Amino acid sequence: MPKKIRLGILGGGGDSLIGVLHRVASHINDNYEIVGAVFNPVYEENIGFAKEIDVPTDRIYKDFDAFIEGEMKLPKEERIQVCSVQTPNFLHFPMAKKLLDNGFHVICEKPMTTTLEEAKILQEAHKKAGTIFALTHTYTGYPMVRQMREMIKSGALGKIHKVDARYYQGWINTIIHDKEKRSSVWRLDPEKAGISSCMGDIGVHAFNLVEYTTGLQVKSLLCDFNYLYEDNKMDVDGTVLVRMGDHVKGVIRGSQVATGEENGLAIAIYGEKASFRWEQEKPNFLYKQSDTEPTQVYKPGHAYNSELSLNGTKLPPGHPEGIFDSMANIYLGAARAIRGEQYNDGEFPTMLDGVRGMNFIEATVESHKGGNVWVEMES
Ligand SMILES: NC(=O)c1ccc[n+]([C@@H]2O[C@H](COP(=O)([O-])OP(=O)(O)OC[C@H]3O[C@@H](n4cnc5c(N)ncnc54)[C@H](O)[C@@H]3O)[C@@H](O)[C@H]2O)c1
């Protein structure tokens, strides 16, 4: 067993939503050890949380600048190798940039930055650094999503002609209808979230899944947002028509006010020979449908699955694995890359996915604000 990779964490404190997912995921395949962090901007809470989860406090820094300074003073064989950025969106860019500039590998939450311009600057910094950059579009780690990608690549659907992805949640309902509350959460504050709430937070996952599974790129789009209230600055619902080619079209739908919906990410890809349907809330079932044969259901862990898919399961078929395992698969791919081992390019989303995601988010806003017009994406 090679030595564990020294992992640093930024954000993801005890008060966060996503921190526990990253911490558990980083441990699942025994590749990483958390050796330093800034879990929280309030030092007492930061230290308190480190003690609570038993991370040694000697490398719990008061803030990000102290983190970089402290780590750069250490000999390379002791220094943190990869840092996982789990803060609110506006901190991803400054943190990831400085990490790359100082030679760290980076695992970063989505959306990668708050603007396309920042994303391109980060891309340049990454080229110069030559280190590994993994973007945690968590859902690409599910074995059945990977299976879809591999089967589409090998022609199971024939030529694709229609995509339909949706990411519906309802949680903002509890906030948005109250004037006071809707100005208090960072996801509805453009200074902290970036220019979009719904598309930036969840629509971008659906977009990523469409490009990840089909291997095609969205070329142009037309978007219609709903802000729900005149004083709300951020989209909380949106429908996006997408064109991926002259005869490849579809729709990406996102909502944070889809009452009663929990984490309703779903995708359907239709081709000339067959189609795939997959839902995040039932991630271990991949449906393949055709006009001529009965529906087939693919499940994880069976030998009929692709190597990339099988790589993402740890137990025999019938032992349900879920979101923690999906994130763990991204950490596993990143670990292989960091160690210089061979890996499949479907094992983790990259800098390019981050740039594409920011391009998508900005294009949706431009389309809506321009009067629901078609906007070209960069190729
Ligand atoms: N991949 C996914 O499926 C997924 C799911 C949820 C959230 N996210 C992303 O993860 C990120 C965090 O989301 P969340 O819901 O956990 O947010 P959150 O508000 O629940 O938690 C943010 C954490 O960052 C900490 N933090 C804030 N400022 C900091 C600073 N200057 N230095 C260090 N720590 C700081 C906070 O104390 C908190 O612990 C967002 O970018 C979000 O888009 C991704």
Residue extents of the structural domains in the chain:
5-138, 142-317+348-369
Token reading at 54: 């038993």
- Give the list of residues 6+ apart from residue 25 with CB closer than 8 angstroms, or none: 324, 325, 327, 328, 330, 331
Closest by CA position to 138, among listed 8, 323, 308: 323
Place of tokens 């809506």: 368
Distance 13 CA to ligand 1 centre (A): 8
Atom of ligand 1 nearest to the CA of 38: 33
Distance 12 CA to ligand 1 centre (A): 6
Helix (H, G, I), strand (E, B) or coil at 199: helix
Domains 5-138 and 142-317+348-369 share a fold: no
Residue 38 CB less than 6 A away from ligand 1: yes
Query: For domain 142-317+348-369, which architecture applies?
Result: 2-Layer Sandwich (3.30)
Distance 91 CA to ligand 1 centre (A): 9
Residue ranges of the alpha helices (H) in 53-161? 64-73, 92-101, 116-129, 143-153
Closest by CA position to 26, among listed 365, 259, 375, 348: 348
Distance, CA of 237 to CA of 318 (rounded, Å) = 36
Query: For domain 5-138, which architecture applies?
Result: 3-Layer(aba) Sandwich (3.40)
Distance, CA of 32 to CA of 52 (rounded, Å) = 19
Give the residue, out of 21, 85, 87, with the most ligand 1 atoms within 8 A of its beta carbon, to mutate for a pocket test: 87
Helix (H, G, I), strand (E, B) or coil at 60: strand
Query: What is the pTM for the complete model shown?
Result: 0.97
Distance 327 CA to ligand 1 centre (A): 15
Distance 86 CA to ligand 1 centre (A): 5
Distance 92 CA to ligand 1 centre (A): 10
> Residues 15, 17, 18, 23: is their CA dihedral positive or negative?
positive
Atom of ligand 1 nearest to the CA of 19: 16
Residue nearest atom 39 in ligand 1 by C-alpha distance? 13
Residue 349 CB less than 6 A away from ligand 1: no
Distance, CA of 201 to CA of 112 (rounded, Å) = 11
Token reading at 66: 């102290």
Each residue's pLDDT, cut to its tens digit, for the chain (379 residues) gives 569 999 999 999 999 999 999 999 999 999 999 999 999 999 999 999 999 999 999 999 999 999 999 999 999 999 999 999 999 999 999 999 999 999 999 999 999 999 999 999 999 999 999 999 999 999 999 999 999 999 999 999 999 999 999 999 999 999 999 988 888 888 899 999 999 999 999 999 999 999 999 999 999 999 999 999 998 989 999 999 999 999 999 999 999 999 999 999 999 999 999 999 999 999 999 999 999 999 999 999 999 999 999 999 999 999 999 999 999 999 999 999 999 999 999 999 999 999 999 999 999 999 999 999 999 999 8
Residue nearest atom 21 in ligand 1 by C-alpha distance? 16
Give the residue, out of 10, 40, 137, with the most ligand 1 atoms within 8 A of its beta carbon, to mutate for a pocket test: 40
Residue nearest atom 2 in ligand 1 by C-alpha distance? 138
CB atoms within 10 A of CB 236: 27
| CA distance to 18, 155, 275, per residue, from 293 (Å) | 41, 17, 12
